[in-house]
Amino acid sequence: MKTIPLATLAATALLAMSAARAGDFAGAYVQLDGGLDHTKASGTYQANAKDVGSVGFEAGNLWNVGHDVLIGVDGFFDYEGRENHDTATGGQTKYGSNVYGSDFIGGYQFDSNWFAYGKLGVAHVKGIEGADGFNKTAPHFGTGIKYDVTHNLAVGAEYTNTHAKEHGIRLNNDNTMLTLSYSFGELHL
């Protein structure tokens, strides 16, 4: 008698997993990011490239448009750590940046647990400490992949890039981050 309920439970679980395709990543989500920012200043404010710590937060929404394709929007904030950088004159300067903005996201879900995506948007880069006064909006783009650990929780890796230029100064931020996302699912009004 126990084998019939167990077989029914197993069949129900398999059907639920096969029906959970692109909807697993669709909906509102929040995401924490942590990793490295390969940062460099050039132009009138020379500083050598250096890998510094970076943390961020993202919130957005993804819509399932069919055939495992998702599109969406996000808003984000990244803090690029303040570190000493060698300058062209042989000295050192300490700077970092705060970067915030919004992206359009497009991607494809495959194998029911994986989501590969690209993003394109705008970011506002604000220099801090030695780069104080740098304040510019620039294009922002990136790519990433997420793996659904549970229905609501995903881990991933993401690369984003912002190169902002103002008054002869160019501040480059190339972020490589590990991500942890929580999905609230699709919101129905």
> pLDDT, tens digit, for every residue of 76-87?
999 887 666 676
Mean pLDDT of the chain: 82
Give me the pLDDT at residue 177, please. 97
């029914």: which residue's tokens?
A: 8
**Cβ–Cβ under 8 Å, residues 162 and 139:** yes
The residue with greater pLDDT, 110 or 42, is 110
At 7, the amino acid letter reads A
Give me the pLDDT at residue 189, please. 57
Average pLDDT of the residues in 138-159:
95
Give me the pLDDT at residue 96, please. 73
The residue with greater pLDDT, 63 or 88, is 63
Handedness of CA 88, 38, 104, 33 (dihedral sign): negative
Kindly list the distances between the CA atom of residue 14 and the CA atoms of 11, 19, 49, 107, 148, in Å, as whole numbers in the listed order: 5, 9, 50, 25, 16
pLDDT in tens, 24-72: 899 999 999 999 988 877 765 666 677 788 999 999 999 999 999 999 9
């993003």: which residue's tokens?
A: 119
Task: Classify 88 as helix, strand or coil.
Answer: coil
Which CATH topology does 3-185 take?
A: Porin (2.40.160)
Give me the pLDDT at residue 44, please. 57
Residue ranges per domain, the chain?
A: 3-185
